[in-house]
Chain A
Amino acid sequence: MVPTDPQGVLTGAHFLDGDYACAEGAMAAGCRFFGGYPITPSTEVAERITQRFPMMNGIFIQMEDEMASMNAVLGAAWAGKKSMTCTSGPGFSLMMENLGLGVMLETPCVVVNVQRGGPSTGLPTLPGQADMMQARWGSHGDYEIIALSPNSPQESFDLMVDCFNLSERYRVPVLFMMDECVGHMTERVVIPSAENILVEERRYTADPPDKHLPYKADENLVPPMTPTGKGYRFHVTGLTHDERGYPVINADAQNKIVRRLVEKIRKNAADIIMLEEEQVAGADVVVLSYGISSRVVIPAVEKARSQGVKVGTMRLITVWPFPEERIREIAANVNSLVMVELNLGQVFLEMDRCARGQCKTFLVPHCGGWVHDPEDIYNVLMEAAK
């Protein structure tokens, strides 16, 4: 990793909302292409980018829809740019097909979803966390994806840099699953100096054109990128393909490519997964949460602790890939696992699956539109402690 281009870095202490901080994080990470379509509550990300891009040689285009946005992002990534788009529920749905193209072509890029309440138009201006399974499985076919979730504007900045770095390292679109509450929450955000922001540079092939296979993976199962416009005369396709990038329509080729796309994430899960644990050792109850919910959980946890309940917390900073092993380990040592999320049970299903009957599991559900009442969380914690 190398220090980032200072042109994109607004070093200092700022009072920014999560959307603006997200845009600053992207620019600090070296993002210089943005293709997007306006949608509440994510539009401020694009607005911030448009204000600042001209002075750092970035290029913004407001596309005609989210399908176009996703494709423009992929095209720009293949042209050599660190690129991104930003959307919310309905637009995220429209991006799904071509998110799959990004996965299949192994294109580094970042897609931000500032989650609002759904389904359909739902609650454009109010928070939700109900696109989490869509993030995991939204495009057709089998694949693995990376998704991070911030719980403050500061983290919105910090994690965007991680998003770009992970996308370069694993050649996969990285999803930044914010929620409206964090997106529209203004807090102090400290942006470090450029030399303290390390970025992953694009790793291009070292092979000459006549020896180059665009999809020959390295030991990490990730192929280096092929540069466009440099005489490689390469081909990439959304069809099932071989190492040459040529379509091969049979089960063998399918087995090879799909397994690698999945394994490159699963085998590197330890490098990708970021968790924040507190008082997990010796806990009877461990409560999981992510995004804004992870803040609302704390007053409930403190109250339960004051009642003598041993509660540990785990915050999923990386939601996908899911920390399966760690959850299994914890499940073997606690009475209960509790999931707090703004939906009626999505990431809960993964927690429950990984617990595998080793402990009880509880969900504190919420349909979105607001955050949980800490009292509701407290009540479930007390129930879980029984």
Chain B
Amino acid sequence: MARTEIRISGLGGQGVILSGYIIGRAAAIFDTNFATMTQSFGPEARGSACSCQVILSEERVLYPYIRKPQILVVMSQEAYDKFAPELADDGILLIDSDLVKINGRHGSAVTFGIPATRFAEELGRKIVLNIIMIGFFTAMTGIVKEDAAREAILQSIPKGTEELNLKAFKRGLEYGKELRAKGTSKTKAASKPSRPAAKGKAAKASP
């Protein structure tokens, strides 16, 4: 794995930073990669569009910021509008299709949607949205190992919430796996509304 740049984005309070932390931790502590996470601070981290950056690499990360993320995880429309344009041409866009409406094509990037908000509500706690997204991320990118992600989640969440969070992770992971099993590999076509993978609202709306 060469250098992979990832941006996780959404609203303040959605657990955006924690998602980046868990992905980085999974790679750097429970796997054998180098990971560098940086985050936006100040008012930006407290309201509206909030994001963090994770760089995964086989070698030590030197340049600390991302420039053209290969993976963009989006959990709010505002974050989508703000960050989608920077996505690398061959990148992967992962969205919560309940919250994000795709309104453009992003080079040859592929988009995968998951109704994560609905899943979170089904699990009884909207707060696990970010963990569902991590499960989805793990399935769709394969960049962190399942076990590493699971371990990183367990080590990063409040005690007593393990079961809920593991369920959330599993929900995201399995949805992603199903999507892939249905033949939706990382192709341009994945973002087309006609594909079976595009179950979410957002994907339906994409051009």
Q: Which residues from chain A sit less than 8 Å from chain B, CB to CB?
A: 13-15, 17, 40-41, 124-125, 181, 184-188, 292, 295-296, 298-299, 370-371, 374
Q: In the bound complex, do residue A187 and residue B41 qualify as a contact, i.e. CB atoms below 8 Å apart? A: no
Q: In the bound complex, do residue A15 and residue B38 qualify as a contact, i.e. CB atoms below 8 Å apart? A: no
- Chain B's nearest CB lies how many Å from the CB of A377? 11
* Residues on B with beta carbons closer than 8 Å to the beta carbon of A186: 21, 24, 35-39
In Å, the complex CA distance between A182 and B65 comes to 11
Q: In the bound complex, do residue A181 and residue B21 qualify as a contact, i.e. CB atoms below 8 Å apart? A: no
In Å, the complex CA distance between A188 and B21 comes to 11
Give the residue among A15, A41, A374 with the most B Cβ atoms within 10 A.
A15
Q: Given A184-B39, A186-B36, are A15 and B63 also a contact pair (CB < 8 Å)?
A: no
Q: Is B29 an interface residue (CB 8 A)?
A: yes
In Å, the complex CA distance between A90 and B58 comes to 39
* Residues on B with beta carbons closer than 8 Å to the beta carbon of A41: 41
Look across to chain B and name the residue whose beta carbon is closest to the beta carbon of A124: B42
Q: In the bound complex, do residue B38 and residue A296 qualify as a contact, i.e. CB atoms below 8 Å apart? A: no
Further contacts, 19 of them, CB under 8 A, given A14-B29, A15-B37: A15-B21, A15-B28, A15-B152, A124-B41, A125-B40, A181-B64, A184-B38, A185-B36, A185-B64, A186-B36, A186-B38, A186-B39, A187-B34, A188-B29, A188-B34, A188-B35, A295-B63, A296-B64, A298-B62
In Å, the complex CA distance between A158 and B180 comes to 44
Count: A-B pairs, CB below 8 Å: 63
Look across to chain A and name the residue whose beta carbon is closest to the beta carbon of B155: A15
* Residues on A with beta carbons closer than 8 Å to the beta carbon of B25: 15
* Residues on B with beta carbons closer than 8 Å to the beta carbon of A181: 38, 64
Q: State the interface size on chain B (CB cutoff 8 A).
A: 21
Give the residue among B25, B44, B152 with the most A Cβ atoms within 10 A.
B25
* Residues on A with beta carbons closer than 8 Å to the beta carbon of B34: 187-188
Q: Give which listed residue, B63, B65, B152, contacts A299 with CB less than 8 A.
A: B63
Q: Which residues from chain B sit less than 8 Å from chain A, CB to CB?
A: 21, 24-25, 28-29, 34-42, 44, 61-65, 152
In Å, the complex CA distance between A188 and B34 comes to 8
In Å, the complex CA distance between A295 and B59 comes to 13
Look across to chain A and name the residue whose beta carbon is closest to the beta carbon of B17: A186
Look across to chain B and name the residue whose beta carbon is closest to the beta carbon of A186: B37
* Residues on A with beta carbons closer than 8 Å to the beta carbon of B39: 184, 186
- Chain B's nearest CB lies how many Å from the CB of A2? 30
Q: Give which listed residue, B24, B41, B62, B63, contacts A184 with CB less than 8 A.
A: B41
Q: In the bound complex, do residue B41 and residue A296 qualify as a contact, i.e. CB atoms below 8 Å apart? A: no
Q: In the bound complex, do residue B42 and residue A296 qualify as a contact, i.e. CB atoms below 8 Å apart? A: no
Interface CB pairs A-B, < 8 A, 11: A124-B41, A125-B40, A184-B38, A184-B39, A186-B37, A187-B34, A188-B34, A296-B62, A299-B62, A371-B63, A374-B63
Q: In the bound complex, do residue A15 and residue B29 qualify as a contact, i.e. CB atoms below 8 Å apart? A: yes
In Å, the complex CA distance between A298 and B65 comes to 14
In Å, the complex CA distance between A164 and B154 comes to 34
* Residues on A with beta carbons closer than 8 Å to the beta carbon of B62: 295-296, 298-299
Q: Given A15-B29, A188-B29, are A296 and B24 also a contact pair (CB < 8 Å)?
A: no
Q: Give which listed residue, A15, A124, A188, A292, contacts B64 with CB less than 8 A.
A: A292
Q: Give which listed residue, B42, B64, B152, contacts A125 with CB less than 8 A.
A: B42
Give the residue among B36, B38, B40, B64 with the most A Cβ atoms within 10 A.
B64
Q: Which 6 A-B pairs have the closest CB atoms?
A: A15-B25, A186-B37, A188-B28, A125-B42, A125-B41, A295-B62
* Residues on A with beta carbons closer than 8 Å to the beta carbon of B24: 15, 186-187
- Chain B's nearest CB lies how many Å from the CB of A87? 16
* Residues on A with beta carbons closer than 8 Å to the beta carbon of B36: 185-187
